[in-house]
């Protein structure tokens, strides 16, 4: 019986994906009566999978689910110490995952999305704004979806793309097989004016949004975040049933403004903060509920052990920083620590150590090579990335393989034609210990304080003391590295003088379909 018990223990770590080869092997093993009378069928199936995996030398590819929320900061989570915001499901994931505690995105959404997709700094792929045409991801850029697809994955995006709204920039032409998205940077901005489902134009789209599904528009029913998760779950389940490894990118538009949610989610917070902030927290609570549904579905389908589940956000908090900011300075669209530091939790029960904290400096563009590394995929030949795989840190957070580096952060979003005036504003250079930061400049306002400051971020995470005069050599080296990087990026900012479409192509396509064939109702998937 000890032998049987050991087999059961081993099977906990064996990914089960039924194939014709494993079924035939299972039948062959069952013919051996001395085994079949002693070992249950389910164990024999596991043994056949183990022997096939060992014989072929190939590991079964893990599923990958990346969930990224919009405008939720590092501190907007219960597990990060928030005094009253409740996020029990994300907190559960936090306990089961590797946590990257010094992970930085960009201070605004489209730049972060471009870095995730490309593995490169946003400026290097043409993204310098959240508005068209400067939010376009450079054509010809190899995306992580394309790389995973070339390594055998089916790929899907659900929610917010925000890297170009013309057809050639859309995700179906950038490596995604399944596309279920709203247009532009905010869901309300991509909804037809004539179809406003609620009074007051700014409310449109959060309930019953019109969305683009594989090239055609549908009218959905329900709250936008619920709809994105439901569509993603239905698509994932179909791939589980077909034994296809998948990459699901769920990029919610919540809790982006305007702050609209069913009152049942916001009411617990209304006596603790103002109405808009309560709604902001309610949107996060709704996302947390959907995370619970996602996690329970993964368990129900039997794919938990061999599914990589990732949770992160795209930039600092847009609304919650005044309530609680985990001791950081800054928020969304600001160059300080709170503008770009975000949560990153990665769970893979079969391979990764639960509850491990990695406190080394990591960036959004590191996820591209990390996902390829985790899935044993190959990068396209000759592709050069700014990011590097975080897998060595997952094995040993103190590994010497992870060398320190200067990384560069810029809010961007300068007014058209004003780029050069923003070179020394709204930027930061960050390495493991130091943070060099330019002054915050909003649009065309005049800078009252033009000082570039240096912080010992390891010993002063709240950025209270400028130490540039105490460490002039560090100041000079970091500033020089930034100036070199800026010059390198200048010719790659290809959208600075690009022409924007006169009309919103997303809405033009909607109106054309409405006139010719109508807008069908969305079919809610089963999962």
Per-residue pLDDT band at 144 (split at 50, 70, 90): very high
Q: Calculate mean pLDDT across residues 191-203.
A: 57
Residues near 333 by Cβ (< 8 Å), separated by ≥ 6? 107, 108, 315, 316, 339, 411, 413
Residue 205 pLDDT greater than 90, yes or no? no
pLDDT for 201 beyond 50: no
- pLDDT at residue 358 is higher than 60: yes
Angle subtended at Cα 383 by Cα 381 and Cα 388, rounded to the nearest 5 degrees: 115
| Ordered DSSP codes for 339-372 | HHB--EEEE-TTTS-TT-EE-S-EEGGGHHHHHH
How far is CA 18 from each of CA 15, 59, 112, 242, 408, rounded to the nearest angstrom?
Answer: 10, 14, 37, 9, 45
As a whole number, mean pLDDT of residues 12-33 equals: 37
Q: How far apart are CA 35 and CA 31, in angstroms?
A: 8
Stretch 41-53: mean pLDDT: 32
Q: What is the mean pLDDT of residues 398-423?
A: 95
How confident is the model over 153-173, as pLDDT tens digits?
999 999 999 999 999 999 999
Give the torsion through C-alpha atoms of 94, 95, 97, 100, to 10 deg. 60
pLDDT tier at 450, thresholds 50, 70, 90? confident
Asked if 118 and 110 count as a contact pair (C-beta separation under 8 A), the reply is no
Three-state DSSP class for 336?
A: coil
Which of 47-61, 260-274, 391-405, 448-462 is least confident?
47-61
31 compared with 133, residue with greater pLDDT = 133
Fold exhibited by the domain 407-492: Arylsulfatase, C-terminal domain (3.30.1120)
Output the pLDDT for position 192.
Answer: 85
Query: Chain-wide mean pLDDT for the chain?
Result: 88
pLDDT digits (tens, 9 = 90+) for 479-499: 999 999 999 999 999 999 999
Mention every residue, 6+ apart, whose C-beta is less than 8 A from residue 503: none
Asked whether the predicted pLDDT for residue 203 surpasses 90, the reply is no
pLDDT score, position 483: 98
In this prediction, residues 310-321 reach a mean pLDDT of 98
Residue 195 pLDDT exceeds 50? yes
Six token digits for residue 487: 């010059």
Grade residue 44 by pLDDT with cuts at 50, 70 and 90: very low
| Pairing between β-strand 344-347 and β-strand 154-160 as defined by DSSP bridges | unpaired
Q: Provide the pLDDT for residue 445.
A: 59
CATH of domain 63-395: 3.40.720.10
pLDDT at 200 over 90: no
* pLDDT class of 444 with cuts at 50, 70, 90: low
Output the pTM of the full model.
0.89
pLDDT category at 447 given cuts 50, 70, 90 is low
281-306: pLDDT as tens digits: 999 999 999 999 999 999 999 999 99
What's the rounded mean pLDDT across residues 240-249? 98
Q: Is residue 202 predicted with pLDDT exceeding 70?
A: no
pLDDT at 57: 57
Q: Among 101, 105, 102, which residue's Cα sits nearest to residue 66? A: 105
Banded pLDDT at 449 (limits 50, 70, 90): low
Least confident of 1-10, 57-66, 198-207, 427-436: 1-10
- 340, 316 in Cβ contact below 8 A? yes
> Do the bridges between strand 178-182 and strand 154-160 make them parallel or antiparallel, or are there none, so unpaired?
parallel
Residue ranges of the domains in the chain? Answer: 63-395, 407-492
pLDDT-based confidence at residue 501 (cuts at 50, 70, 90): confident
108-117, 178-187, 197-206: lowest mean pLDDT where?
197-206
| Structure tokens given for 49 | 């999978």
Per-residue pLDDT, averaged over 91-113, amounts to 98
Q: Which residue has the tokens 């709809």?
A: 227
Q: Which residue has the higher pLDDT, 399 or 40?
A: 399
pLDDT > 60? residue 15 = no
Neighbours of 422 (CB within 10 A): 19
């Amino acid at each position: 019986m000890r032998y049987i018990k050991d087999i059961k223990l081993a099977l906990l770590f064996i990914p089960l994906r039924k194939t014709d080869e494993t079924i035939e092997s299972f039948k062959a093993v069952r013919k051996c009566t001395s085994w079949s009378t002693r070992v249950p069928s389910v164990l024999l199936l596991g043994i056949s999978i183990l022997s096939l995996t060992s014989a072929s030398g190939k590991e079964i590819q893990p599923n990958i689910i990346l969930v990224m929320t919009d405008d939720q900061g590092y501190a907007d989570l219960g597990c990060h110490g928030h005094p009253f915001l409740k996020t029990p499901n994300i907190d559960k994931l936090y306990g089961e995952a590797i946590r990257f505690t010094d992970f930085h995105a960009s201070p605004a959404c489209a730049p972060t999305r471009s870095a995730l997709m490309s593995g490169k700094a946003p400026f290097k792929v043409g993204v310098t704004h959240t508005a068209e045409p400067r939010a376009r991801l450079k054509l010809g850029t190899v995306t992580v979806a394309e790389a995973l697809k070339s390594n055998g994955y089916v790929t899907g995006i659900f929610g917010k793309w925000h890297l170009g709204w013309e057809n050639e920039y859309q995700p179906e032409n950038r490596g995604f097989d399944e596309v279920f998205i709203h247009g532009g940077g905010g869901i309300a901005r991509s909804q037809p004016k004539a179809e406003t489902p609620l009074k007051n134009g700014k409310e449109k789209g959060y309930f019953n949004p019109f969305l683009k599904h594989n090239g055609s528009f549908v009218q959905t029913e329900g709250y936008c975040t619920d709809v994105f998760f439901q569509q993603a779950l239905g698509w994932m389940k179909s791939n589980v049933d077909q034994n296809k490894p998948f990459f699901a990118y769920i990029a919610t538009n919540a809790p982006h403004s305007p702050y609209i949610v069913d009152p049942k989610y916001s009411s617990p917070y209304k006596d603790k903060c103002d109405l808009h902030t309560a709604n902001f927290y309610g949107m996060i609570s709704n996302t947390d509920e959907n995370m619970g549904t996602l996690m329970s579905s993964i368990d129900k389908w039997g794919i938990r052990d061999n599914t990589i589940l990732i949770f992160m956000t795209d930039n600092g908090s847009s609304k919650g920083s005044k309530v609680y900011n985990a001791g950081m300075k800054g928020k969304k669209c600001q160059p300080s620590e709170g503008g770009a530091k975000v949560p990153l939790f990665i769970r893979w029960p079969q391979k990764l150590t639960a509850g491990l904290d990695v406190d080394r400096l990591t960036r959004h563009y590191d996820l591209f090579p990390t996902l390829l590394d985790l899935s044993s995929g190959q990068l396209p030949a000759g592709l050069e990335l700014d990011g590097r795989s975080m897998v060595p840190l997952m094995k040993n957070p103190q590994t010497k393989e992870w060398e320190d580096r200067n990384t560069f952060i810029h809010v961007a979003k300068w007014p058209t034609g004003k780029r050069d005036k923003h070179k020394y504003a709204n930027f930061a250079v960050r390495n493991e210990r130091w943070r060099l930061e330019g002054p915050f400049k909003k649009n065309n306002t005049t800078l009252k304080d033009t000082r570039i400051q240096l912080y010992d971020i390891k010993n002063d995470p709240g950025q209270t003391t400028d130490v540039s005069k105490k460490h002039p050599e560090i100041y000079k080296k970091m500033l020089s590295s930034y100036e070199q990087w800026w010059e390198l990026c200048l010719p790659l900012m290809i959208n600075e003088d690009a022409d924007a479409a006169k009309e919103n192509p997303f809405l033009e396509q909607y109106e054309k379909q409405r006139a010719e064939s109508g807008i069908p109702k969305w079919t809610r998937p089963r999962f």
